[in-house]
Amino acid sequence: MSARRFLVSPGQLKSELIILEPGEAGHAQRVLRLQAGDEIWLLDGLGNQARAVVERLNPMLCRVRERPPWPSPRPRIIMLLAVSKNQAMDILAQKLTELMVDEIRLFNAARSVAEAGGSKNDRWERLAGQALKQCGAARAPRFVAPPYPNGNLDEVLGQAPPSRLERALKIAAYEGEQKTNLAQIMPLQAPEEVWVIIGPEGGLSKEEIELAQERGFVSCRLTSSILRSETAALVTAGCLRCHWE
């Protein structure tokens, strides 16, 4: 699956004839040794894909044969994620793509040790694009980073639906939660959307979890151990994707 999937820009995918950009074409020729006549898949990272055939090398020209729709997984997962250190964010950019998280909205938590900034988006999008070619999905997460103007939890909470709608499950992973766990609050039928808050390394502050609860988020614990922030993000996304698969 990974071998013959290539990224193109969204505008390109509407054409019948598409020229691969040099980085993608180089990989196709040098590593995969593709030839004229070989079949490949093209992705725009936004959920669109096309089956195509290589017509010519140098530059690498492909003709689209069909554009089968990609069935978006349900529910949509929107993760409100406290910014982590670079290494953890790199792991998340890759693995949350594999788990088909739809949006990652970063915020600066009270206890964040790193700070969000739009400048990292390019790096995460590149890592997500690489993961996308391997994992068989057609859409990478959309990364949204502060400033919003200041990028705290209050602001990203304002982006979520206003109340506990039927169609949107809103949860906050919180290690201080004693009563409710994640398995208990996943309904039998997949909701349209799940909004998930994942706090920073030091956890959400008391004020932050209370604010989330006021806005209709249900706090739940994951495991009896204390997970690193990126592990909590991966495990939550994994549980949500596997539960209604």
Enumerate binding residues for a second copy (CB under 8 A): 1-2, 71, 73, 91, 94-95, 98-100, 134-137, 181-183, 221-228, 231, 234-235, 238-239, 241-245
Query: Closest separation between CB of residue 134 and a second copy, Å?
Result: 7
Question: Which DSSP string do the residues of 138-189 spell out, in sequence order?
Answer: SBPPEEE-S-SSS--HHHHHTTS-SS--TTEEEEEE-TT--S-BHHHH--SS
Give dist(CA 133, CA 199) in Å, integer.
Answer: 29
Query: Closest separation between CB of residue 240 and a second copy, Å?
Result: 10
Cβ nearer to a second copy, comparing 158 with 176 = 176
What 8-state DSSP symbol labels residue 48?
Answer: -
The DSSP H or E segment spanning 235 is: helix 229-243
Cβ nearer to a second copy, comparing 166 with 245 = 245
Cβ nearer to a second copy, comparing 96 with 106 = 96
Cβ nearer to a second copy, comparing 22 with 202 = 202
As to burial, measured by CB atoms within 10 angstroms (0-12 exposed, 13-18 middle, 19+ buried), residue 165 is middle
Give dist(CA 187, CA 76) in Å, integer.
Answer: 15
Question: Which DSSP string do the residues of 73-136 spell out, in sequence order?
Answer: -SSEEEEEEE---HHHHHHHHHHHHHTT--EEEEE--TT-SS---GGGHHHHHHHHHHHHHHH-
Query: Closest separation between CB of residue 147 and a second copy, Å?
Result: 31
Cβ nearer to a second copy, comparing 54 with 234 = 234
Alpha carbon 77 to chain centroid, angstroms: 8
Cβ nearer to a second copy, comparing 145 with 182 = 182
Cβ nearer to a second copy, comparing 135 with 211 = 135
Look up residue 189 and give its two tokens: 């039928």
Give dist(CA 55, CA 213) in Å, integer.
Answer: 56
- The widest CA-to-CA distance across the chain, in whole angstroms, is 62
What 8-state DSSP symbol labels residue 228?
Answer: -
